Amino acid sequence: MASSWCKIYPTTILLFFLLLVSSVRLVHSSKLEDQNLQSSSPTNQTFKPEQELQKLKILKSRLRKINKPALKTIQSPDGDLIDCVLSHLQPAFDHPLLKGKKPLEPPERPNEHNPSNIMTEDFQLWSFSGETCPEGTVPIRRTSEKDMLRASSVRRFGRKVRRHVRRDSTSNGHEHAVGYVSGEQYYGAKASINVWAPRVSSQYEFSLSQMWVISGSFGDDLNTIEAGWQVSPELYGDNYPRFFTYWTSDAYQATGCYNLLCSGFVQTNNRIAIGAAISPTSSYNGGQFDISLLIWKDPKHGNWWLEFGSGILVGYWPSFLFTHLRDHASMVQFGGEVVNSRQSGFHTSTQMGSGHFAGEGFGKASYFRNLQIVDWDNSLIPLSNLKVLADHPNCYDIQGGINNVWGNYFYYGGPGRNVRCP
């Protein structure tokens, strides 16, 4: 494969964003709330009925708010329960500005984009059962008590909790290998993302590969829209790669959530369950599998839509959720991120991507390909001036290129702890 490699160098604005994003991933320190809400361990010697009752009350209340009445329930091979919920009863419509309304009709697609609206194959484990959700409903992964009790904070389950932002990238515990563009006005982005099942060494670490659509000052008013796949034992209780979304309008402080765990994202599709496990996945020196995602701003109504594969609309983020993103994005970012908790005093062995470095290439290293953005004219165009950055290149690295088949692309990832990454 002929390619021209991009020069790797950091920029101040991207480093600041990475630090901010790193500072708001799931927090695992104990707090007063956590003392009240965490599940009782068998090793606890003191039973406090008042605290237990309060914990149970909060947990049941949150579950009632998240899990909506199901018209039908489907058992997934991985143990998930998928509830088929009437579209207008999904969590998004708990929002005051959406109460009593119904999902919008499909928007105008970007120019130079020719969707087929055909799902060529099942890509989630739950669909292997052969059952589907009826028209007029949306499939929602049921949240269990166990899911909530694994969380650092039951009150903020499904959200990223903001911590103090540190300015040195070596001590915040989050490591990245990303490609990005900035400096212009962006109205969407598209990429095909190679799917693997990286090893995650601790329940409180994760490995993800995603795209970010970003606007704001990188302070308290940061807006992001995010989609991709993640392995997160804390959030899901296993090591399957799962399709996910996220959004925030205040730098992860009080707004936003993963998937459909709060009122925000409006799902319009009855065949894709956000938060459900992806299958198949890629194998080293074997078959490769990727998912294509497109996020773009509807020129007519201003909402941000999410498309999967060849034209399958998943749903949309209403424009009123945001401040800066009501207009446009100022940065688009693609790539991988892991948590390095250094639990044993060493760098984590949590893998990014395939768990192999970028230099190993196709079939061995994970990739993003056909990177594009949507411009002011609602046209899907190739990236210009793609920059790539690995903040811990001895642990996880990245190499970018361009060719006639994959357009703009990059390989990225790594094994974490190794002789050059102690």
> pLDDT tens across 185-237, in order?
999 999 999 999 999 999 989 999 999 999 998 778 999 999 999 999 999 99
Predicted pLDDT of residue 114: 78
pLDDT tens across 126-144, in order? 999 899 999 999 999 999 9
* Angstrom distance (rounded) from CA 378 to CA 324: 18
pLDDT, position 117: 59
36-47 average pLDDT score? 45
Predicted local distance difference test score (pLDDT) of residue 344: 85
Cα separation of 210 and 215, whole Å?
A: 16
Q: Find the range with the poorest average confidence among 36-45, 83-92, 126-135.
A: 36-45
Q: CA-CA distances (angstroms) from residue 66 to 36, 93, 233, 261, 350?
A: 21, 12, 20, 6, 30
pLDDT of residue 120: 54
Average pLDDT of the residues of the chain = 88
Whether residue 28 has pLDDT greater than 80: no
Q: Is the pLDDT of residue 184 over 90?
A: yes
Active site residues: 226, 337
Identify the residue with better confidence: 112 or 158.
158
Q: For the chain, give the percent of residues with pLDDT over 90.
A: 74
pLDDT at 3 (0 to 100) = 42
Tell me which of 171 and 277 has the higher pLDDT: 277
- Is the pLDDT assigned to residue 6 strictly greater than 60? no
Query: Which pLDDT score, from 0 to 100, does residue 166 have?
Result: 33
pLDDT at 40: 41
Higher-confidence residue of 36 and 129: namely: 129
Q: So what's the pLDDT on residue 11?
A: 55
Q: Does residue 74 carry a pLDDT above 60?
A: yes
| Closest to 260 measured CA to CA, from 249, 252, 272, 278 | 272
Q: What is the pLDDT of residue 219?
A: 78
pLDDT tens for residues 252-268? Answer: 889 999 999 999 999 99
- Name residue, tokens 């290439």: 361
> What is the pLDDT at residue 343?
86
Q: Which residues pair with 398 in a beta bridge?
A: 412
The mean per-residue pLDDT over the stretch 382-403 comes to 96
Tell me the mean pLDDT in the region 39-66. 74
HEC profile of 21-57: HHHCCCCCCCCHHHHHHCCCCCCCCCCCHHHHHHHHH
What is the average pLDDT across 11-20? Answer: 60
pLDDT classification of 23: cutoffs 50, 70, 90: low
C-alpha separations of 402 from 153, 207, 274, 332, 370 in Å: 43, 26, 31, 18, 9
pLDDT of residue 42: 40
pLDDT mean over 80-97: 97
- Please report which confidence band the pLDDT of residue 75 belongs to, taking 50, 70 and 90 as the band edges: very high
What is the model's pLDDT at position 340? 94
Which of 200, 371, 193, 395 has its CA nearest to residue 282? 193
pLDDT band at 118 (very low <50, low <70, confident <90, very high): low
